[in-house]
Structure 1
Amino acid sequence: MRSVLRALTVLVLTLLLMGSAWSQATPSAKPANAEPSSDAATLVMFNRPVVVFRSSLLGAPPKARVDRARFSINEALNQGGKLAVSVKNNPEGQLLMIDERLAFVVTAGDIDPLRQDDVKATASQAARQLELIIAENREARDLHMLLTALGISAIATFVFGLMVWLVVRLRVWLDKLLVSSVETRVRNLKIGGTQIIEGHQLVPFLQRVLKALRWLVILLLTYEWASFLLSRFPYTRAWGERLNDYLLNVIGVILHSMLEAVPGLGIALAIFMLARVFIGFLGRFFERMVRAGTSISWLSRETMPTTRRLFSIGIWLFAIAMAYPYLPGAETDAFKGLSVLLGVMVSLGASSIVGQGAAGLILTYTSTIRQGEYVRIGEHEGTVVKMGMFTTTIRTGLGEELTLPNSMITGTVTKNYSRSVQGDGYVVDTTVTIGYDTPWRQVEAMLVEAAKRTPGILQSPAPTVFQVALSDYYPEYRLVAQAVPSRPRPRAEVMSMLHANIQDVFNEYGVQIMSPHYMGDPHDAKVVKPEDWFPAPVKRDS
């Protein structure tokens, strides 16, 4: 509490010093955009500006006129009397009189060039200020009114201290309530069983917010207390009025800005709401077209999510462009500069991103590959597990996940082992080269038998053998079959078991696999006898 009182004392002294300097240096009666001449001087009494002298009169410069007017007014105040203020016409200007004694003269050269007032209006305003100064001078000489002001100030100070104490105590009570309620409510904020916000992180943040609000309230109370106290006494009343006027002007500017922004925000909000409604309608329309089996080539069950997303992005961009002029601050230089900066950043750094996105759209709408298909892209082979706008992920038979840029896929020959099969599954194929001295019918039969022994290879459609080439030393046989996967790994397992069965079948029938590096017929056939198929440490399957 002592630190709070010390801070309040320093703040009050600062406000008093600022008000004093303000009243002597830049009186508030002068318009903010006025540019008086360099020899203009202001008559200030009781910290209130009365009139600004901008021209000389009978050889007296503005500064000398201020001194003479101040002397005349002080002399009239000291003599007392009715102190009635009046204005009289004169060829030299408007005469301001106090009890038929000349106080000062307002001439045509004293008129503010930036205002439309004439000499009479300027003199009338000065007369009103002079009457207010005379009233405050009388109040300052009245002991009863001064004591009353001191009593009111004491009561206001007590009320101010009580309110500060209540604000401090309220903050302590809110801290306790915050800790007990937030921890209970935070536990229920979950998505998919995961807590969104942790209590030990949220509570300190809210406590700092409450502390900032507490100091803001204390500063506002201090500001109003200082303004009220200054307004109680004649000599400092002008300072208090200026403090009040300044705070009211700030609040008025804020409220005026908020009210001015309401129509634009309303229009922007209406545009965004219409965009949201139209996006929802368009998405449901696309879904109905897909369920109805539309014949549009670019709209299918696979391309519908991407098409819906593209239309949504286009509608949102159009809505932002339409709502941009209505956003608060859209016409300011800062907002325009930020827009230009973002545009330059996007144009310089997004060329590769745009290329990847275009490649992703090409893959989506040409249906080159689909999720779940087994493909070979360049040197990489595996099952497509994810297709994104910029990258595609495939999982190899060894359990590796490869992320390939879409631009690389569109620029590379892609083999699709799943597209030509009926239903689920993929194509398995392998190539074997056997010498010309082995009957080709026997080779084809052995390859088909090896395929039939391999679990996972379908018997319908039946495995097929093709003689793809007649090379110099051997023909090339290619076995093509269809397998059904149960998980991404089986193709590698199926291929491994198929190759093992091919070796077993060829060994059973005494056909050696010597190619492609065939040099000559050996003395003994290079085959593995059945009794030698399971040497140590190999264990025979039961």
Structure 2
Amino acid sequence: MPPGLPMTRTCLPARLPTWPSLLDHLSRVLLLLPAVLLMALPLAGRAQAPTAVPSSAVAAALPASRPAHAEPRLQLAGRDIVVFRAAALGLSPTDRQRRAQAQLQAVLEMPASDYHVALRPAAEGRALLVNGQLISALMPADLGIDAPTEQDLDRHAQEAKAQLQRALAEHQEAHSWQRLGLSALWVLGSLGVLLPLLWALRKVSRISLRLLARGAGAQARKLQVSGVTLLSLERLGDGVRLVVRLLHAGLWLLLVYEWLGWALRQFPYTRVWGEQLHAALRDALGGVLVGAASALPQLLVAVLIFVLAHFLSTALDPFFERAESGAVDLGWLDADTARPTRRLLRLGIWAFAVAMAYPYLPGAQTEAFKGLSVLIGLMASLGASSVVGQAAAGLILMYTRTLRIGEYVRIGEHEGTVTELGTFATRIRTGQGDELTLPNALIAGSVTRNYSRTGGGAGFALDTTVTIGYDTAWRQVEAMLKLAAARTPGILQDPAPRVFQTALSDFYVEYRLVVQAQPTEPGPRAQVLSLLHAEIQDVFNEFGVQIMSPHYLGDPAEAKVVPPARWRPAPAQDGPQSTPPLGR
């Protein structure tokens, strides 16, 4: 059992699967059937051979068996000798064919130990004779070409002579029981060679299946990511079995096909079929080999272009790696823009390589290839407009350095830390732990507030707003806000917290507190902001100043403050804190 594949799929049975077994049974039937038919060919040859029928009857009967649209031709033993296309001496091509067939029949009816075919010059062409008897005249118009020359006529006449000589030899062979019996023995003897070859092929396919299954399973176990195998062993086993079966079936058919063609060539009246089978296979394989050989030089040029593109795309990797690490800073190329610049450079190199190698790809000049290219281009044009827009927006964000990984930003109504700056989208993580994916086009079209660059220094900026009435001194409000910032853990004192009076409204003054927070102490921005809000409430309650945010319309009958004695009523007295008192 191959150890590389699952037991239920790779424990190979003692026999090949069902359909190869069916092929084996079919092969036996196909091999026995031709043998029986070939043994009967001597009788068939006797039945098909020309008999002593009056010439007029033969001439009258032959055209009836030929389709009306076929050109009249002289035939013997299944071979075409001459094709009649022109009228001569007042005879139509059909009449010429009937007369030639009758002359040949008359020659065959005469007793002769051998037949000799000869050519003689005639008034309008060449005369074809058998044992001195005229069979037919070959005319220049029978060649079917415009303005035939004497060389063309001589070549055509020699071909007709050779075909007739071969057909006469096969005619004599068909009437020789000794030669037919010998051919049948050769065919039956060849089965003793074919059957062991098919048996050996079956054994080799079984052994190959076991070895390939074992090797494929061992290699598949090595392809793992984080302990997970990338390729399914079951599917890999199915693929190996399919490949082996296809190769087995192809070789089996090739052997049977070649044997059948060879067997048919052993008998005169099936020799033409065998030659046609062999010629069809030869032409098919020759066409494949010629096509592959003609496409190989251009394919080598395309491969060379792709190899050069790979070399160029990787040659500058050390330079860009140094730029990403910060060792190289050219102004426009720094640690933030090195990676996208390398991607753009690689994309340009490979796009240029594909454009250069396209004319050299096999089949690139065919109409099917061109139509497929147009279809793909149309689909890309219709569906890639938004993709191109997102990619362009991503490049703008990268090269304008609007965002960097690790910075805390606010984009529209979304706020968080940048975790990934991609080509098409940017990911940010909020203070509550959520991850947001924002399209780059949305970011480029929105106002982006970068808190990590506000005020300078380490960390990121925080701000909050309160509204206090005009009856409270603004100096006291600023002092209380700075005191709350100083008590909040994680807020830096350098740069110092700042307070701005951003609006003098009808009933209140709007104060805005801006501080700088350490990113690692206490952690997320939302937690630091929550702690800051808690300290602001405590400080204002401690000094008896009420916060009337967000709107202040008038003084209430009783001040809205919480004295320190009531800061922790039940259940807050014994329960958990709403916000962890980090650093306090």
Q: Report if TM-score (shorter chain) is over 0.5.
A: yes
**What amino acid sits opposite 1:66 in the alignment?**
Q
Instruction: Please give the per-residue CA displacement for 1:201-228, whole angstroms capped at 9, x wherever unaligned.
Output: 2101211221122111111111101101
**Structure 1 pair 449/2, CA: closer, same or farther in 2 (3 Å)?**
closer
Which residue in the other structure is 2:74 paired with? Answer: 43
* 2:364 is equivalent to residue 330 of structure 1: yes
Which residue in the other structure is 2:116 paired with? Answer: 84
Task: Give the gaps of 5 or more residues in structure 2.
Answer: 1-20, 38-43, 45-67
Q: Out of 202, 209, 216, which is 1:168 matched to?
A: 202
* Distance in 2 (alpha carbons) for counterparts of 1:403 and 1:100: 98
Q: Out of 331, 335, 338, which is 1:301 matched to?
A: 335
State the secondary structure of the residue aligned to 1:444. helix
Which residue in the other structure is 2:239 paired with? Answer: 205
Contact map agreement 2:127 2:138 (CA 8 A) in 1: yes
Which residue in the other structure is 1:349 paired with? Answer: 383
* 2:486 is equivalent to residue 452 of structure 1: yes
Q: Out of 346, 351, 364, which is 2:398 matched to?
A: 364
Superposed displacement of residue 65, structure 1: 2.3
Map of 1:413-492 to 2, 5 A cutoff?
A: 413-422=447-456, 424-486=458-520, 490-492=524-526
Which residue in the other structure is 2:439 paired with? Answer: 405
State the secondary structure of the residue aligned to 2:316. helix
Contact map agreement 1:265 1:327 (CA 8 A) in 2: yes
Contact map agreement 2:467 2:552 (CA 8 A) in 1: no
* 2:102 is equivalent to residue 67 of structure 1: no
Superposed displacement of residue 242, structure 1: 1.4
Task: Give the gaps of 5 or more residues in structure 1.
Answer: 21-36
**What amino acid sits opposite 1:237 in the alignment?**
R
* Distance in 1 (alpha carbons) for counterparts of 2:101 and 2:33: 28
Which residue in the other structure is 2:534 paired with? Answer: 500
Q: Out of 87, 100, 105, which is 1:56 matched to?
A: 87
Which residue in the other structure is 1:23 paired with? Answer: none
Whose RCO is larger (CA < 8 A, sep 6+)? 2
* Distance in 1 (alpha carbons) for counterparts of 2:441 and 2:310: 32
Contact map agreement 1:395 1:488 (CA 8 A) in 2: no
Instruction: Please give the per-residue CA displacement for 1:116-151, whole angstroms capped at 9, x wherever unaligned.
Output: 653222111100111111222232233332222112
**What amino acid sits opposite 2:117 in the alignment?**
V
Contact map agreement 1:41 1:63 (CA 8 A) in 2: yes
Instruction: Please give the per-residue CA displacement for 1:443-475, whole angstroms capped at 9, x wherever unaligned.
Output: 112111111221111122221222222222222
Q: Out of 84, 92, 103, which is 2:135 matched to?
A: 103
Instruction: Please give the per-residue CA displacement for 1:488-517, whole angstroms capped at 9, x wherever unaligned.
Output: 961000001100110011111111112443
State the secondary structure of the residue aligned to 1:369. coil
**What amino acid sits opposite 1:43 in the alignment?**
L
Contact map agreement 1:227 1:241 (CA 8 A) in 2: yes
State the secondary structure of the residue aligned to 1:477. strand
Superposed displacement of residue 193, structure 1: 2.5
* Distance in 2 (alpha carbons) for counterparts of 1:95 and 1:534: 131
**What amino acid sits opposite 1:344 in the alignment?**
L
**Structure 1 pair 374/122, CA: closer, same or farther in 2 (3 Å)?**
same
Contact map agreement 1:377 1:415 (CA 8 A) in 2: yes
**Structure 1 pair 11/279, CA: closer, same or farther in 2 (3 Å)?**
farther
* 2:18 is equivalent to residue 6 of structure 1: no
TM-score computed with the length of structure 1 as normaliser: 0.90
Instruction: Please give the per-residue CA displacement for 1:282-310, whole angstroms capped at 9, x wherever unaligned.
Output: 3334445665543332x111111111111
State the number of aligned residues: 521
**Structure 1 pair 123/523, CA: closer, same or farther in 2 (3 Å)?**
closer
Superposed displacement of residue 39, structure 1: 6.9
Q: Out of 113, 116, 125, which is 2:145 matched to?
A: 113
Contact map agreement 1:457 1:483 (CA 8 A) in 2: yes
Superposed displacement of residue 416, structure 1: 0.6
* Distance in 1 (alpha carbons) for counterparts of 2:158 and 2:363: 42
Which residue in the other structure is 2:6 paired with? Answer: none
Contact map agreement 2:408 2:416 (CA 8 A) in 1: yes
Which residue in the other structure is 1:223 paired with? Answer: 257
Contact map agreement 1:40 1:53 (CA 8 A) in 2: yes
Superposed displacement of residue 422, structure 1: 4.2
Which residue in the other structure is 1:123 paired with? Answer: 157
Contact map agreement 1:396 1:489 (CA 8 A) in 2: no
Map of 1:10-49 to 2, 5 A cutoff?
A: 40-49=71-80
Which residue in the other structure is 2:51 paired with? Answer: none
Superposed displacement of residue 189, structure 1: 2.0
Contact map agreement 1:398 1:489 (CA 8 A) in 2: no
Superposed displacement of residue 3, structure 1: 5.2
State the secondary structure of the residue aligned to 2:307. helix
* 2:181 is equivalent to residue 147 of structure 1: yes
**What amino acid sits opposite 2:218 in the alignment?**
T
Contact map agreement 2:83 2:142 (CA 8 A) in 1: yes
Superposed displacement of residue 10, structure 1: 6.0
Which residue in the other structure is 2:267 paired with? Answer: 233
* Distance in 2 (alpha carbons) for counterparts of 1:2 and 1:407: 62
**Structure 1 pair 443/390, CA: closer, same or farther in 2 (3 Å)?**
same
**Structure 1 pair 463/47, CA: closer, same or farther in 2 (3 Å)?**
same
State the secondary structure of the residue aligned to 1:118. helix
Instruction: Please give the per-residue CA displacement for 1:408-449, whole angstroms capped at 9, x wherever unaligned.
Output: 111111111001354542101111111122122221121111
* Distance in 1 (alpha carbons) for counterparts of 2:29 and 2:92: 42
Which residue in the other structure is 1:525 paired with? Answer: 559
**Structure 1 pair 198/467, CA: closer, same or farther in 2 (3 Å)?**
same
Worse overlay, 277-286 or 426-435: 277-286
**What amino acid sits opposite 2:526 in the alignment?**
A
Superposed displacement of residue 40, structure 1: 2.9
Q: CA RMSD in A?
A: 2.5
Superposed displacement of residue 71, structure 1: 2.9
* Distance in 1 (alpha carbons) for counterparts of 2:32 and 2:86: 38
Superposed displacement of residue 275, structure 1: 1.2
**Structure 1 pair 514/319, CA: closer, same or farther in 2 (3 Å)?**
same
**Structure 1 pair 306/447, CA: closer, same or farther in 2 (3 Å)?**
same
Contact map agreement 1:12 1:226 (CA 8 A) in 2: no
Which residue in the other structure is 1:158 paired with? Answer: 192
**Structure 1 pair 11/361, CA: closer, same or farther in 2 (3 Å)?**
farther
* Distance in 2 (alpha carbons) for counterparts of 1:218 and 1:472: 99
Superposed displacement of residue 353, structure 1: 1.3
TM-score computed with the length of structure 2 as normaliser: 0.84
**Structure 1 pair 488/178, CA: closer, same or farther in 2 (3 Å)?**
farther
Contact map agreement 2:467 2:509 (CA 8 A) in 1: yes
Contact map agreement 1:436 1:473 (CA 8 A) in 2: yes
**Structure 1 pair 415/139, CA: closer, same or farther in 2 (3 Å)?**
same
